[in-house]
Amino acid sequence: MRGSIHMTSSDVLIVERPSDDIVVLKINRPQVRNALNLAVRVALSEAAAQYAADPAIRCLVITGNEQAFVAGADITEMAEAGPVEVMARNVQKYWRPITDCPKPVIAAVEGFALGGGLELALCADIIVAGESAKLGLPEVKLGILPGGGGTQKLARLVGSKRALLLMLTGKLFSASEAAAMGVISEVAPTGKALERALEIARDIAAMPVISVQQIKEIVHAGLNAPLETALMLERKAFQLQFATRDQKEGMKAFLEKRKPAFEGK
């Protein structure tokens, strides 16, 4: 499947395999700046679940196009909805397979990542944004609030004072501002976010898979636990590594001054 392209039946998501161990999920609604409708949410959710279960895949990358990662939720699906309908629709559930994915997820952002688009990016473990990208949670300007994790995730990343300033005004911010605040991982030259994300994905894919998955799991679990509990999780995960063949190979290769050949076992 190296280099192959598969389009879903709805054509709202393009799935690419640039290598055997990396998958790229490209949102494909350019006519509306990749606005999130139900079809996009379902396609992303199903693809994330599928590739999370694929033992050949080591890393997932989510991206849009050069104009927009995702410019927000599709307002036409929400404008006339009532609270019971919104509750029954429960679109937030579609992000669960992304946030729960045991494999690293990287968001490559160009153009706009607003509202639900920024919330989608925040589901990723690593965010690379092009220099000219614009990010924000401007839902207040529509008479609503961020409802896909934005209020909680942004506040945890940047602190409540700065998060409230951004959300209460709906102010957009640049990639460099996002990096300075800790919202994103890295700024790439405009148009190069996906290229840089793939470089990172290749670096991760070359690492021992059990160590990678354990690092991701204990970081996320530890952030929501008291420090002593989090340190205990780290100790247990550290001890577990010594049951793997990759630990033996990694240390042997270091001592022999050669490149390790990790098996993922």
In terms of CATH, what superfamily is 4-205?
2-enoyl-CoA Hydratase; Chain A, domain 1 (3.90.226.10)
DSSP per-residue string spanning 167-222: HHHT--EEHHHHHHHTSSSEEE-TT-HHHHHHHHHHHHHTS-HHHHHHHHHHHHHH
**CATH number listed for the domain at residues 209-255:** 1.10.12.10
Structural Rg of the chain based on CA atoms:
19
The rounded distance, in Å, linking the Cα atoms of 183 and 122 is 8
Instruction: State residue 81's pLDDT score.
Output: 84
Catalytic residues: 119, 139
Instruction: State residue 144's pLDDT score.
Output: 94
Instruction: State residue 58's pLDDT score.
Output: 97
Contacts of 95-98 with C-beta under 8 Å, sequence gap 24+, read 95/41, 95/45, 95/119, 95/120, 95/123, 95/148, 95/149, 96/45, 97/45, 97/46, 97/48, 97/49, 97/52, 98/44, 98/45, 98/48, 98/62, 98/123, 98/124
Give strand ranges (E) for the chain: 4-7, 13-19, 22-27, 59-63, 68-70, 105-109, 112-114, 126-130, 134-136, 173-174, 186-188
Residue 261 carries which side chain, given as an amino acid letter?
Answer: A
CB 74 within 8 A of CB 35: yes
Would 4-205 and 209-255 be classified into the same CATH topology?
Answer: no
Instruction: State residue 7's pLDDT score.
Output: 47
Instruction: State residue 80's pLDDT score.
Output: 82
Q: What is the pLDDT along the chain (265 residues), one digit of tens a residue?
A: 444 555 444 589 999 999 999 999 999 999 999 999 999 999 999 999 999 999 999 999 999 999 999 998 888 887 788 889 888 888 899 999 999 999 999 999 999 999 999 999 999 999 999 999 999 999 999 999 999 999 999 999 999 999 999 999 999 999 999 999 999 999 999 999 999 999 999 999 999 999 999 999 999 999 989 999 999 999 999 999 999 999 999 999 999 999 999 988 8
The rounded distance, in Å, linking the Cα atoms of 26 and 32 is 14
Domain definitions of the chain by residue range: 4-205, 209-255
The number of angstroms, rounded, from the C-alpha of 158 to the middle of its chain's C-alpha atoms is: 18
